[in-house]
Amino acid sequence: MTAAAHHHAPATTRFGVGLNPAEEIVPTGLPVLQGRSVEVFFDGVAAVDRAGLFRLSRGTEWLLGAARVVPAAGTSIEATARLIYEALFAAARGWRLARIWNYVPAINEPDVGGLERYRAFSRGRSLAFEREFGPNFRTAIPAASAVGTDAAELTVVFAATTRAPRHVENPRQVPAYEYPPEHGPRPPSFARATVVPAAAGQADVFVSGTAAIRGHTTVAPGETPPQLACTLENLREISSACGIGPDLARGRAGARHFKVYLRHADDLPTVKAVLERELLTPEDAVSYLHSDICRRELNVEIEATVLGAVVG
């Protein structure tokens, strides 16, 4: 059971990801505290088939896939992550990865063998990337997030494209894939953001799960208000690095989607008030979700998907 399950939170509505506008929703197991309970990014994609573990939807420029696997009894989350990621690379072969979402059961609890499950997941994911892309695999790593879920399944959702993505780092943070060993035996495999060129002067921008980390160190462990302030600073930094200004193309995008992950449900009113003042517009698609974060001392994480953002 994750820490999120120990706090009071609405359990009747769970968040889901739509691979296309018409098909069934991929459940994630995350309780919805407020906002949208389903996220569908792209029109013009339709279900096609399965590829191994993955259910796929495809359009002319996008391939979306989702897999949900319950680790077998006695099987580590590391081995399950390798299995899913090797299937992901096979399913997306010939496409370029732009974004991956990971929903990890009991993310802060010990895995088989005693390693924290997030660290075990990170090792399995990293080894799968290295096997697929070789020793220079870091250049192929897209934006991603990994948060805890109360569900039994390890759920992985990806978006891949025919276009040429650009992976971006935050100058105020050590790239996650260069974290020192104190954060686990293999560092996490994700870029801080991925920019995919769209129509002339526009881009689709995927900002990874962003939290209160400077360099590679957690800011204000366990304290939500200063962590939220730092998270917003990091979002401004990565937004500027992506070339869409410091405000995630506020008022200059076709659509903006945000997912706000809260370790403590009681933080919702405070966090929501700050975000509505400093980040969000009424037109944004926003989901506030109850979830454990990849580090025990982190209370809040925010991700953004900005479609049709004006560049420059």
Which of 86, 153, 237, 301 is labelled catalytic? Answer: 301
CA distance 117 to 294: 9
CA distance 233 to 210: 10
Residues sharing a CB contact under 8 Å with residue 132, sequence separation 6 or more, in sequence order: 85, 86, 89, 140
Would you call 78 a catalytic residue per the annotation? no
Q: Determine the 3-state secondary structure of 199 from DSSP.
A: coil
To which H or E segment does residue 283 belong?
Answer: none
What is the DSSP track for 18-73? ESSSSSPEEEEEEEEEEE-SEEE--SS-EEEEEETTEEEEE-SSEEEEEEEEPPPT
- The residues carrying an active-site annotation are 301
